Amino acid sequence: MRIMWGSTGPAMNSVIGHFVILATTGGAICVMSYAVGWPRVMPPSEPTVSAIAVQRPTEANSPTPSARVQEVPVPRDIASLTREIQRELKRLGCYDGEASGRWNAQSRLAMKAFVDRVNAKLPVERPDYVLLRLAQGHQGSACGPTASAPSPPALLREGRVPPAPPN
């Protein structure tokens, strides 16, 4: 049975199609077609076509290597997840404790400080994969002296620090 332009009837009524357009940050665009009742319209003896169009990013529109997040396997148990989060917080300058795998008050305070610095609103009561990915995606220091201390000219403008005497 073939369906042609302008066809009507039960075969056409059984075919329901929808398209999903997916755009990823890498620039890939996927278009998928799905039809309910497709085997009745086109018997399995005839070949079917499933079209997926993928556009690969080119050098011109790909992000710089420093902006890419490294794909790291996500730990499956809570202790490993906690250790990974603690290591990331230490890298960011927010945590100075041991990567013990225990989500204690020091870990929660460090994560709260980081979440506040990056202007996010996330719960920090338990270790979470979202918290790990957020920390992994942050470049540079977040809680160290470079991120928290205002520059001396800002302190001078605010009148909190007197200017140094001339030499």
Q: Same domain for 77 and 134?
A: yes
Classify residue 138: in a domain, yes or no: yes
Single out the residue of 125, 134, 44 nearest to residue 85, CA to CA.
134
The reply to whether 124 falls in a domain is yes
Which pLDDT score, from 0 to 100, does residue 76 have?
Answer: 78
β-partners of residue 22 are 30
Tally of domains within the chain? 2
In a domain, 121, yes or no: yes
**Bridge partners of residue 19, in order along the sequence:** 33
Is residue 109 in some structural domain? yes
Tens digits of residue pLDDT in 70-113: 565 666 789 999 999 999 999 999 999 999 999 999 999 999 99
**Are 21 and 46 within one domain?**
yes
- CB count, 10 Å around CB of 126? 11
Q: Quote the pLDDT of residue 158.
A: 63
Bridge partners of residue 20, in order along the sequence? 32
Q: Are residues 92 and 132 in the same domain?
A: yes
Judge if 142 and 86 occupy the same domain: yes
pLDDT value at position 7?
57
Are 144 and 75 part of one and the same domain? yes
Q: Which residue ranges of the chain lie beneath pLDDT 70?
A: 1-75, 145-167
Q: Is residue 154 part of a domain?
A: no
**pTM summary value:** 0.46
For the record, the structure tokens of 151 come out as 């520059």
Residue 22 one-letter amino acid: L
Domain boundary among 35, 58, 81: 58
Same domain flag for 139 and 79: yes
User: In which residue are the tokens 């041991």 written?
Assistant: 98
Supply the range of the domain harboring residue 38: 9-58
